[in-house]
Structure 1
Amino acid sequence: MSAVNLFPRNELLPWLVSAQSAPYLSRPPYARTEIFNNLVTYLVRLRRDGTLNDADFNELIKMISATFMEAEISDRVDGVLDRALKKALPDVPGWKFP
């Protein structure tokens, strides 16, 4: 099971879900990295304040790291497949490849 599916999409991680559900071309390429860095910074602050213990902090860092890596790899694979399909499929008049 993927780390993304551990939480209901609209309850615990709304800022992360909104970044992932935005249209591909409407967000800058560094947006996901910026969200990841901000979230790690926030978790570090919670750990320093004593709000999170070591076990919870480690689990959350693993979870958001897995989510980030899954999304990055998925985007790269999608890009490679899109380029391969554009090369392999002939142009059909009146139809544009998305």
Structure 2
Amino acid sequence: MSAAIHALNGNRSPFPLPPVSRPKFHGSEYSHVRVEGFNSLVKYLARLRRDGTISEDDFNALVKMASASFVEVEVSNRIDNILGSKALNKALNDQLLRLWG
């Protein structure tokens, strides 16, 4: 594994990436931030490839890793949002039933 891949794995990237923890603002806004971060990463990797800093194999491996990570976080957050919404609706319905019961 090259130094570029080790650097990405070690989270020593030269550009800011959005945090993995849940944000304090709406999910769709955070999703947009992640998309922008992913696009910035791919552009940066493409520039490194054009400049000859990383090889074609390293470029492909890094883009594959970044894509897999991006998709994993997006799917996980969407599932969490759906489950969270259902749990909130159930809790609200339970409270309303107690008030009316």
**Alignment TM-score, normalising by the size of structure 1:** 0.71
> Which amino acid is the alignment partner of residue 53 of structure 1?
S
Alignment RMSD:
2.5
Aligned to 2:99: none
Alignment of 1:19 onto 2:23: no
- Of structures 1 and 2, the larger Rg is shown by 2
Alignment of 1:91 onto 2:95: yes
**Alignment TM-score, normalising by the size of structure 2:** 0.69
Q: How far apart are residue 19 of structure 1 and its match?
A: 2.8
Aligned to 1:70: 72
Q: The residue matched to 1:23 in structure 2 has which SS?
A: coil
Q: The residue matched to 2:95 in structure 1 has which SS?
A: coil
Paired residues for 1:23-62 under 5 Å: 23-25=23-25, 28-29=29-30, 30-62=32-64
CA deviations 1:52-88 (Å, max 9, x no partner) are 1011000000110011001100110011101111222
Q: How far apart are residue 24 of structure 1 and its match?
A: 3.7
Q: Percent identity?
A: 40
Normalized per residue, the structure richer in helix is 2
Q: Structure 2: which 5+ residue stretches go unaligned?
A: 1-7, 97-101
Number of equivalences: 84
Tell me how far apart the structure 1 counterparts of residues 87 and 64 of structure 2 sit (CA, whole Å): 34
Q: Structure 1: which 5+ residue stretches go unaligned?
A: 1-5, 93-98
